[in-house]
Structure 1
Amino acid sequence: MNRADFEAALRGIGAERYHNLHPFHQRLHSGACSKAQVQAWALNRYFYQSRLPLKDAAILGQMDEPALRREWRQRICDHDGTAADPGGISRWLALTDALGLDRDLVTSTRAILPITRFAVEAYVSFCRTRPLLEVIASSLTELFSPAIIEERMAGMLRHYDFVDARALAYFSARPPQASRDVAFALGYVLEHATCDARQDAALAALRFKTDILWAQLDALWLAYVEYRAPPGTWQPCP
């Protein structure tokens, strides 16, 4: 594919497979979730958020060029925080605090769903073991995140009186970071996927990432919409 067609193919994956299309997210954004279902989502999603710096450190370790490392290491700061900015993980904990979840329970991750753990660990392993082009391509779900963040904030503020703008600070801070990150990652993938095999590998990596996100929502739906949470996982108070 030429550059334009390849970029269109990458974006097409989001149109077909991004997790904003999942019934759980549609339920969350429309106000149809109970407070317990919102709590379950935030509790399980914390594990994904907490592992993003590990994923990015694994990618950083593959980069031989200082310029690439300088660009990528900002992602770790975005999540872990700095002296001037508490970071995305801290902002996510502000959300779970606002939802009334015990912080020690959240950070221990002992009550998350098995599929949440398996899916997130599979993604971190992918980023440790696959070629650099593929792992950078897998990050391109950020191409599709601005729309879901806007929809999520508007829907949750409209429908749920137990969250406010301060509780959703993670989402208000994320769009400019994602725009910066995706500009770099998309440029890298378009530049380095120079043959059919590399383009196919990049597309497969992005599909894999959408599968990781989708699987986590499948697990939430089964556990907290169909009420089939496995033993040992978080159970809403009666």
Structure 2
Amino acid sequence: MIERLSSEEFIKRLRKIGELRYHDKHPYHVRMHEGKLSPEQLRAWVANRFYYQKNIPVKDALILSKLPTREDRRDWIQRIIDHDGREGNDGGIEAWIRLGEAVDIPREEMLDERHVLPAVRFAVDAYVNFCRLQPWPIAVASSLTELFAPTLVSSRIAVFEQLYPWIRPEGLEYFRARLHQAPRDADHGLTLVIRECATLKEQEQAMAALSFKCDVLWSLLDALSLAFPNKE
């Protein structure tokens, strides 16, 4: 029995999880990128995805509290700043609220979560709790969906501009910021996971964590598919 996967094989298997299970393959998401969602369906995606977005800095703060070195904490804290913002930078949560406004969801309706489906809330809360309870390298591994995000975000900007011209362009700033944030975060997270997962068992736990995160994102779209079915 092998003691551990080589770093190259470990990375290959992590990336394979995304190739097979990332949420860009979900039928709801496929329809979105084909320009086939109705305004109601797209607004539902924006409003429900916001519950996930607003919890990203919460899970990152939980991970931050467990990182053992100041060097790692200095790098990780940038994720929280990116989403929560600071003086002179409103951050990603505010940018997503503006996306909501750009698709005609009033700010107060985004903030009071009236459109958030119970299954979406349950899945996101489960992810935050996972990061609270798991050892920090495994929680970091769950964030490695960022490995698959940059290409998707780039195509999403083009899709929204070309296929949903009714979305006001100022609403797309969140995605433009993620074009450089996501690759940086993915590289840092992958470095930590490769460094810390020194045994085959730990590597397997990391891969299971990434699979779980893919399931969380898939579940959000399952909930939307049930609540907002196609009317064709």
Residues 223-234 of structure 1: matches in 2 within 5 Å? 223-225=227-229
Residues 20-31 of structure 1: matches in 2 within 5 Å? 20-31=24-35
Cα distance between partner residues in 1 of 2:168 and 2:107 = 19
Question: How many percent of aligned residue pairs carry the same amino acid?
Answer: 43
Q: Specify the alignment match of 2:149 in structure 1.
A: 145
Q: Specify the alignment match of 1:45 in structure 2.
A: 49
Cα distance between partner residues in 1 of 2:69 and 2:114 = 38
Q: Specify the alignment match of 1:233 in structure 2.
A: none
Which of the numbers 143, 164, 167 marks the counterpart of 1:163? 167
Q: Look up the equivalent residue of 2:66 and give its one-letter code.
A: Q
Q: Look up the equivalent residue of 2:71 and give its one-letter code.
A: A
Which of the numbers 86, 90, 93 marks the counterpart of 1:89? 93
Indicate if the aligned counterparts of 2:102 and 2:167 stay in contact, CA closer than 8 A: yes
Q: Look up the equivalent residue of 1:24 and give its one-letter code.
A: Y
Q: Are 1:103 and 2:103 an aligned pair?
A: no
Q: Specify the alignment match of 2:22 in structure 1.
A: 18
Indicate if the aligned counterparts of 2:57 and 2:84 stay in contact, CA closer than 8 A: yes
Q: Deviations over 1:28-70 (max 9, x none)?
A: 1111001111100000011011111111111111112111111
Q: Are 1:202 and 2:206 an aligned pair?
A: yes
Q: Deviations over 1:67-106 (max 9, x none)?
A: 1111111100000011121100011011100111121111
Q: Specify the alignment match of 1:174 in structure 2.
A: 178
Q: Deviations over 1:147-192 (max 9, x none)?
A: 2112211111111121143211100110211111111110111111
Residue ranges of structure 2 left out of the alignment (5+ in a row): none
- After TM superposition, give the deviation of residue 226 of structure 1 in Å: 5.1
Q: Look up the equivalent residue of 1:119 and give its one-letter code.
A: A
Cα distance between partner residues in 2 of 1:161 and 1:151 = 15
Residue ranges of structure 1 left out of the alignment (5+ in a row): 228-238
Q: Specify the alignment match of 1:115 in structure 2.
A: 119
TM (norm. structure 2) is 0.95
Number of corresponding residues: 227
SS of the counterpart of 2:170? coil
Q: Are 1:36 and 2:40 an aligned pair?
A: yes
- After TM superposition, give the deviation of residue 200 of structure 1 in Å: 0.4
Which of the numbers 67, 78, 81 marks the counterpart of 1:77? 81
Cα distance between partner residues in 1 of 2:115 and 2:217 = 19
TM (norm. structure 1) is 0.93
SS of the counterpart of 1:167? helix
Indicate if the aligned counterparts of 2:141 and 2:190 stay in contact, CA closer than 8 A: yes
Could you tell which deviates more after superposition, 155-164 or 181-190? 155-164
SS of the counterpart of 2:33? helix
